[in-house]
Amino acid sequence: MFTRIYLLLILLLFPAMGHAEETITVAVASSLYPAMKGQAARFEKEHAVQVRLISGSTGRLYNQIVQGAPFDLFIAADDIRPARLIEQGRVFAEGGAGLGYLGVKSRGNGLPGLEQLTISAVQRIVLPNPDVAPFGQAAKEALKQQGLWEVLSPKFVYAQNAMQASLMVDQGLVDAGFVPVTLSESAIASISYRAVMLTERAAARQLLKYVTAKEIEIPSLLSAQR
């Protein structure tokens, strides 16, 4: 009798214990983070699942995954790291997750051409670290094609990722920067996003289908921050 009363009290005091929402953790490239926040919020409304977003450069997130970080999904700003994870047997499913665009912006949101970056008035140029950030690697390749990489190298300030680079331009900490832009903002390169599922959880598969079913144009981080 006492045991039944005790169990009844537990159920009355903690009615929601058996109905806690499932949580899935998503590692997402920082350039995709503003758009992914909206996608995650809509997904949460349609499913009894919480989405926890961890943002950073694609390279750093990849390194964390290899070292055992417990992510359910990884949305990268390139095809290289997802391909490596597939080769390593870490991926259960994958798909495209949209396009992003690289451009150059200056203080006040101006859109200078690459040649304008060589003038003496432009002294500090930020770009995401090419070793870990695909947007930085794309900027490096574009500058090398134009013969400007060595010319501009003394002016470079390196950011950890695309989001940090955008913030530095937005806050006037640099004269110009290579950052995510919209297609209409004179993009100089496109970036393909790829999503890979790292666990066999049903909620992770649902979110993968949700994300890859959308044709997402990634917004400029500068405009997304306002």
The predicted structure's pLDDT at residue 169: 93
Per the prediction, the chain carries an average pLDDT of 85
Q: How far apart are CA 60 and CA 63, in angstroms?
A: 5
What would the pLDDT profile of 26-55 be if each residue is shown by its tens digit? 999 999 998 899 889 999 999 989 999 999
Of 222, 218, 61, nearest to 53 (Cα)?
A: 61
Q: How far apart are CA 156 and CA 131, in angstroms?
A: 14
Cβ proximity of 169 and 126 under 8 Å: yes
The predicted structure's pLDDT at residue 85: 96
Q: How far apart are CA 109 and CA 128, in angstroms?
A: 18
**What is the three-class DSSP state of 47?**
coil
Q: With 60 as the cut, is the pLDDT of residue 61 above it?
A: yes
Q: How far apart are CA 58 and CA 220, in angstroms?
A: 18
Structure tokens at 36: 């992914």
Other residues' Cβ atoms within 10 Å of the Cβ of residue 7: 10
The predicted structure's pLDDT at residue 106: 87
Helix, strand and coil in the chain, % to nearest 5: 45, 25, 30
Domains, the chain: 2-97+192-219 (3.40.190.10), 101-181 (3.40.190.10)
Q: With 80 as the cut, is the pLDDT of residue 216 above it?
A: no
What would the pLDDT profile of 3-16 be if each residue is shown by its tens digit? 454 444 444 444 44
Greater confidence (5 vs 179) lies with 179
Of 58, 222, 219, 54, nearest to 137 (Cα)?
A: 58
Whether the full predicted model's pTM is greater than 0.85, yes or no, is: no
Q: How far apart are CA 142 and CA 62, in angstroms?
A: 24
Cβ proximity of 75 and 211 under 8 Å: yes
The bridge status of strand 156-159 relative to strand 125-128 is parallel
What would the pLDDT profile of 116-171 be if each residue is shown by its tens digit? 899 998 999 999 999 999 999 999 999 999 999 999 999 999 999 999 999 999 99
